[in-house]
Structure 1
Amino acid sequence: MLLLGASATASEAPAAVAPAISASIDLEISGLRSEKGNVLVCLSANPKYFPDCSEDKQARKLKVSAGKAEAIQIADVKPGTYAVALVHDENANGKMDLRLFLPREGFGFSRNPKIGMGPPKFKSAQFTIGTDDARYAVRMKYIL
């Protein structure tokens, strides 16, 4: 009888809550040419939508005042493979402005890939994150 009572009590005990499995990504931004406007950040796991993640419903998008964009944190990121694209939206119109197909505003990517004709591929900017927090340095680049 005593054993039955103990097992009934144990089964009625509340289940332990599993800890959240996520991490934070800290981005250290350098090379902003001004404190005007905003820095638009896109964290995407989908190569199809990189670097313009405007159609990526799963992407994490942040807008940070350029004056406060030296350090940006993306919290609660689930383990996976991602890439980050940044735009220095100096005129705060919410998009990358172009002149003759060239960016008029600054841009940056995780892993700082070399820029040739057009934006880098997802693979050159990708990184994998687990449950440990990560820190990445991103250098902004300007063409015009």
Structure 2
Amino acid sequence: MPIFGAVSALLLGASASASEAPVAVVPAVAASIDLAITGLRSEKGDVLVCLSANPKYFPDCGKDAKARKIKVAAADADNIQIAGVKPGTYAVALIHDENGNGKMDMRLFLPREGFGFSRNPKIGMGPPKFKSAQFTVGALDAHYAVRMNYIL
């Protein structure tokens, strides 16, 4: 068997027949995002985390079918890890759901519970835009600090 034939047989495997096409194995690329949460005013309730790649659904990702939604007990929310994130551009929104009802409670159009965003953008009248909270994930793990904000 010529050298080229021996190398081909080795690469394709001894059991592959001539009619089978070689299969390339490409490792899946995914990273973890570690969020260090600061400024929680209590350990009551949960922290709701939304990781979205779609600016249309930021910061309320309730209707974003592709968003990653995580609920963590506030007492355990100092560090939150989102594993298996594919490369891309994302933004994170957090709510400190102190009463555990699964949503942001409002009073006179102002949030009654805490909130935070990736990259800690300035908060003005209304939530920040996706662009001010966005970050890029590659093949390496990413680490971000998120500061919680409370208005009432």
The TM-score with structure 1 as length reference comes to: 0.94
Partner of 1:111, secondary structure, is coil
Distance 1:26 1:8, change over 3 A: closer
Q: Residue in 2 aligned with 1:121? A: 129
Deviation at 1:139, TM superposition (A): 0.3
Q: In the alignment, residue 6 of structure 2 is paired with which amino acid?
A: A
- Separation of aligned partners in 1, 2:49 and 2:108: 24
- For 1:96, the equivalent position in structure 2 comes to 104
Q: CA deviation at 1:10?
A: 3.0
Query: In the alignment, which residue of structure 2 is the partner of 1:20?
Result: 28
Which residue number in structure 1 is paired with residue 10 of structure 2?
Answer: 10
Q: Partners of 1:8 and 1:113 in 2: how far apart?
A: 55
Q: Which moved more, 1:61-70 or 1:6-15?
A: 6-15
Structure 2 gaps, min length 5? 14-21
- C-alpha separation between the residues in 1 aligned to 2:7 and 2:149? 64
Distance 2:111 2:102 in 1: 14
Match of 1:112 in 2: 120
2:78 pairs with 61, 70, 76, which one? 70
What is the match of residue 48 of structure 1?
56
Could you tell me how far 1:22 is from its partner in structure 2? 1.0
Superposed CA deviations along residues 98-117 of structure 1, whole A, max 9, x for unmatched, are 01110000000000000000
What TM-score do you get using the length of structure 2 for normalisation? 0.89
How far off its partner does 1:27 sit?
Answer: 0.1
Q: Deviations over 1:45-68 (max 9, x none)?
A: 000000000000010000000000
Distance 2:116 2:96 in 1: 8
Q: Distance in 2 between matches of 1:38 and 1:61?
A: 13
Q: 2:100 corresponds to which letter in structure 1?
A: A
Q: Distance in 2 between matches of 1:19 and 1:103?
A: 43
Larger Rg computed on CA atoms: 2
Q: CA deviation at 1:11?
A: 5.3
